[in-house]
Structure 1
Amino acid sequence: MALKTVNIRIDEELKKQAEILFSDFGMNMTTAFTIFAKAVVRERKIPFEITASEPFYNESNMTHLKKSINQLKRGKGTMHNIVEVEDEQSMEED
């Protein structure tokens, strides 16, 4: 089995905390992420529930968004193009 390197960016403090916990489990970061990736592939889903605590995803806003989408589907409303803007940090990294 050929091995590949995967680089990810993670908050420094979160990385330290995760490494300590994984060490308590008797594994390193690579082993932990490999277990995660295998579970995702095997189950064909994220193996735990992901919930949104952001206000954007609250029930009231989601109802409003669904209503707006239905209006657009019926030809009532205006569509706008989305313009992507790079933040300063990602521009500095290039």
Structure 2
Amino acid sequence: MAQATISARVDSKDKERFDEFCENVGISTSAAIYMFVKNVINEHRIPFEIREPRAAYNAKNMAFLKEGIEALNAGKGVEHELIEEDD
């Protein structure tokens, strides 16, 4: 069987954590990726649920937060009393 190489770029910290996980479960990083590829081929699907990030991290909310941070950094913040909600 002819071999091919898959190359992907990931954050260096993520790679370190993934390598550490693989080592802890007794497999190589290459074996883990091979298992993922074979699972996708055999099941005809990604072997985990893929969904949008939580609503708190959508583009609109992130833009709102960035705007608020910029206002605070410009000295335009307003101090409020802490409001506690009843359970």
TM-score, with length taken from structure 1: 0.55
Q: Report what 2:51 is aligned to.
A: 51
Q: Report what 2:16 is aligned to.
A: 16
In the alignment, does 2:43 pair up with 1:33? Answer: no
Return the alpha-carbon distance in structure 2 between the equivalents of residues 31 and 46 of structure 1. Answer: 17
* Secondary structure of the corresponding residue to residue 36 of structure 2: helix
> In percent, how many aligned pairs have the same letter?
30
* Secondary structure of the corresponding residue to residue 31 of structure 1: helix
Two-structure CA RMSD over aligned residues (Å): 1.2
Task: Please state how far the C-alpha of 1:6 moved relative to its aligned partner.
Answer: 1.3
Task: Please state how far the C-alpha of 1:54 moved relative to its aligned partner.
Answer: 4.8
Task: Please state how far the C-alpha of 1:5 moved relative to its aligned partner.
Answer: 1.2
Q: Bigger radius of gyration, 1 or 2?
A: 2
Unaligned runs of 5+ in 2: 59-87
How many residues align structurally?
A: 56
Unaligned runs of 5+ in 1: 57-94
